[in-house]
Structure 1
């Protein structure tokens, strides 16, 4: 077949194909990775190509100069599909990428300064080294995990811990850059989510049985690295309930009478005993210390632990809550 009549050989297993005329390489102009799209008219040509329904999936825009390009699918609820597209080191300063589907795309070291990425989907895209300064990333869809996180999990599954650690380091850098970008845009809720992910990636780089990793994990569970005040409340409720159960079986003193679980007690008596233990647990946790109930035996150790932990937890909640509210 004559070269000028050949069609682009780009195709995917899902059935997506390109029907553009192929160059000598067998790929069309847009899918050929050996062609650098930095000619003065490439930006206008790509916009027209997109408007005319060209196959945007998998196109190669490595090092392309596309400053200010408009890739918004106007008057349409769905943006253009640029899944698997390669934007390595592409200049996308001030680009309009609203609602663009960039799933599995390569955005490594792309320049997205002042670009509009509102509602863009970058799930499983390579975001390492992206320049985010001034980018509008409100409602940016990053996905449940970065590409590097998934690759790290795969590496761990085959015993490649060093490779996994490198991927986690890359993921930490990406989350740090996203956090800084969110802070510059005043998106502090988003920034809080990113810092939790950032510190989680840092934890995964620590030795599995190290005290540093254990402490980091406890801080995450306890308060989400200072970004989840509801976790502190949840922990408080669990601790109060747990200690109440302990008092239920170890006993409390009230007016000279010992209140403790007895197998032959009625349902009503057991319910009354449990609510008394729950009351005492709340009083001890908050360090109010009314003095009507007093611990006995092993209850003293439980009460001392609960009082110490409660005072610390309340102080931590105040710090975390104020931090969230003053942003």
Structure 2
């Protein structure tokens, strides 16, 4: 087989029909092993099934940044630690490929096929390129362009989430599920009730992926209600508890701690009865008890979802 290395113009020529080159995989392997740059290679529709681009004897992979691999066949390819930053993998076939430790940041991953691919320790973007473009269109006032990019981002996040779940990489899959739901929300009308509800679910629980959000919301509500009880006043038996400027700092501080204790008891719906609300404190207590019951149930659901993966 002829593995003579073509010059750079051959690899950078977007007009070249890669489907007609039978030994393209061997040529690219030889190019990689020569140590010459592969940055920006135009490899649309290239048949690279089974190619070995592993930089043996080195912890750093070969550099294939900013390449065009649109619809390229990379089934069962060995791409360990390959640097693919900025590369278009749109609709590329990577079924069964080894992408362990590959760098896929800034890649166009729309429609990529990853069934059976090894995805351990892949470097992903926190935001896919489609999401970033959508937000740019949004800032520029291009509503239709933003919606199109957000649709593509949702599709791509969903594809990655499904593939990562199949691979047992649930932590990363959970992150992509969260981004998928955010993209779905951004496609809704800005002032719609559905978008507001979706935003609240994200705020409180990260669409079920962020139990810490539930804990922080609970603590914030407990402290806020405790301060309100301190301002409007509650009763400990016949004794009033609350802000009294004529009393000393230590007495007010003790009352504040008692109000925070009462807020915890009300939030958890324990209801010991030692401290009771009156006047304006009653609707606050009713709201806190309702919110506390809902929040604790939500935390159980989110926690179990995360821990049973």
Give the TM-score, by structure 2 length. 0.95
Residue number in structure 1 paired with 2:120: 138
Residue number in structure 1 paired with 2:206: 224
1:68 paired to 2:50: yes
Question: Per-residue displacement from partner, 1:245-303 (whole Å, max 9, x unpaired)?
Answer: 11110111112011110123222112111110111000000000000000111111110
1:284-303 map, 5 Å: 284-303=266-285
Residue number in structure 2 paired with 1:34: 15
- Which structure shows the higher helix fraction? 2
Residue number in structure 2 paired with 1:101: 83
Residue number in structure 1 paired with 2:216: 234
1:225-304 map, 5 Å: 225-304=207-286
1:56-205 map, 5 Å: 56-205=38-187
Greater shift, 30-39 or 165-174, is seen at: 30-39
Give the TM-score, by structure 1 length. 0.90
Distance 2:261 2:192 in 1: 38
How much has 1:194 moved relative to structure 2? 0.9
Distance 1:231 1:21 in 2: 55
Greater shift, 87-96 or 144-153, is seen at: 144-153
Residue number in structure 2 paired with 1:12: none
Residue number in structure 2 paired with 1:4: none
How much has 1:37 moved relative to structure 2? 2.8
Distance 2:230 2:199 in 1: 31
How much has 1:34 moved relative to structure 2? 1.6
How much has 1:209 moved relative to structure 2? 0.9
- Secondary structure of residue in 2 paired with 1:215: helix
- Whether the 8 Å CA contact 2:242–2:252 is kept in 1: the answer is no
Instruction: Give the number of aligned pairs.
Output: 304
- Whether the 8 Å CA contact 2:242–2:256 is kept in 1: the answer is no
Distance 2:121 2:197 in 1: 32
- Whether the 8 Å CA contact 2:83–2:103 is kept in 1: the answer is yes
Distance 2:288 2:44 in 1: 59
Change (3 A) 1:42 1:219: same
How much has 1:21 moved relative to structure 2? 6.8
Distance 1:270 1:75 in 2: 69
Aligned-residue CA RMSD in angstroms? 1.3
- Secondary structure of residue in 1 paired with 2:298: helix
Distance 2:222 2:242 in 1: 18
Residue number in structure 1 paired with 2:308: 326
Distance 2:64 2:244 in 1: 69
Q: Which runs of 5+ in 2 are unaligned?
A: none
1:309-320 map, 5 Å: 309-320=291-302
Question: Per-residue displacement from partner, 1:81-135 (whole Å, max 9, x unpaired)?
Answer: 2111000000000111111111111100000101111221111211000001011
Question: Per-residue displacement from partner, 1:38-81 (whole Å, max 9, x unpaired)?
Answer: 43321111111011112211001100000011111222222112
Moved over 6 A (4+): none
